[in-house]
Amino acid sequence: MSKKPIIIGVTGGSASGKTSVSRAILDNFKNEKIAMIEHDSYYKDQSHLDFSERLKTNYDHPFAFDTDFLIEQLKELSEGRAVDIPIYDYEKHTRSDKTYRQDPQDVIIVEGILVLDDKRLRDMMDIKIFVDTDDDVRILRRIKRDMDERGRTLDSVVSQYLSAVKPMYHQFIEPTKRYADVIIPEGVSNTVGVDIINTKIASILDIDNHSDEKENV
Ligand SMILES: Nc1ncnc2c1ncn2[C@@H]1O[C@H](COP(=O)(O)OP(=O)(O)O)[C@@H](O)[C@H]1O
Ligand SMILES: O=c1ccn([C@@H]2O[C@H](COP(=O)(O)O)[C@@H](O)[C@H]2O)c(=O)[nH]1
């Protein structure tokens, strides 16, 4: 029988640096069996809706996600079976018709704005991390990212931020900080915070963490 993987939840507001922190962990353990799964991959399929209807969805509310499916796939992985994870299309605001194959791993990072909101998900996690970055920094980063990578205009980013992203952050995301084992101010630039997390993961995996030495090579 396969060994249950270590599951690490990484949350925080939009553009707080969740993906960057997760990548730093992946990079530190690149010789181990480790993968990141994004909650965003489990945004509900909206292909039955017109594009104009999809624009009205509140993507920062827990209802926007098919979290049951994420939990089901995490259980499959935990029991040693590969899964096909949906690939989300942010420009079209719906699932694409493609998936990618994820094999079982020893460490699984589950990243997303609401991964600590669902108790069932939290209970599956061995380490829970909240990346804490000021709202003004996050909106500036989001404007740049959404215009460069997600096909948005400045007006659409500002309007979505004021109508959904900001209020949902304060209603649903920020309150999950209380469930975090570790809060990392400033995300990946907080090298001490990231190193503490890597050391903890290494100790659970029962391996030495040589991240300092790797940096100096
Ligand atoms: N500590 C940091 N300093 C400067 N830029 C950062 C930092 N962390 C993330 N970024 C940048 O901010 C943007 C959003 O970061 P990302 O990690 O994708 O956030 P999230 O996954 O929370 O949405 C990216 O362009 C990333 O390169
Ligand atoms: O169709 C969609 C789906 C999501 N969003 C926005 O994405 C962010 C979450 O992604 P981060 O990488 O954590 O920023 C969320 O705030 C949604 O508003 C979207 O705009 N459209």
At 189 the pLDDT is: 96
Q: 215 lies in a domain?
A: no
Q: 164 lies in a domain?
A: yes
Q: 216 lies in a domain?
A: no
Between vectors from CA 43 to CA 190 and to CA 3, what angle results, nearest 5°?
65
- CATH number of the domain that 193 lies in? 3.40.50.300
| Nearest Cα residue to 13 out of 185, 158, 211, 148 | 185
At 3 the pLDDT is: 82
At 175 the pLDDT is: 98
Q: 72 lies in a domain?
A: yes
At 210 the pLDDT is: 63
At 216 the pLDDT is: 46
What is the Å distance from ligand 1's center to 2 Cα? 35
DSSP strands (E only) in the chain: 6-12, 34-38, 83-89, 94-102, 107-111, 127-132, 182-185
Q: 1 lies in a domain?
A: no
Look-up: residue for tokens 């590969």? 82
Name the burial class of residue 194, with classes exposed (0-12), middle (13-18) and buried (19+) by CB atoms within 10 angstroms of its CB. buried
Residue stretches of the chain with pLDDT short of 70: 1-2, 210-217
Give the number of the ligand closest to the Cα of residue 138: 1
Q: 23 lies in a domain?
A: yes
DSSP class of residue 2 equals P
What is the Å distance from ligand 2's center to 142 Cα? 10
Q: 176 lies in a domain?
A: yes
Q: Which atom of ligand 1 is nearest to the CA of 111?
A: 21
At 211 the pLDDT is: 55
Range of the domain at 157: 6-210
User: Strand pairing partners for 84?
Assistant: 101
Q: Is the dihedral of CA 9, 15, 19, 22 positive or negative?
A: negative
Count the domains in the chain: 1
Q: Which atom of ligand 1 is nearest to the CA of 12?
A: 22
Q: 36 lies in a domain?
A: yes
**What predicted TM-score, i.e. pTM, was given to this entire model?**
0.96
At 148 the pLDDT is: 97
Rounded to whole angstroms, the Cα distance separating 122 from 173 reads 14
pLDDT tens digits, 46-84: 999 999 999 999 999 999 999 999 999 999 999 999 999
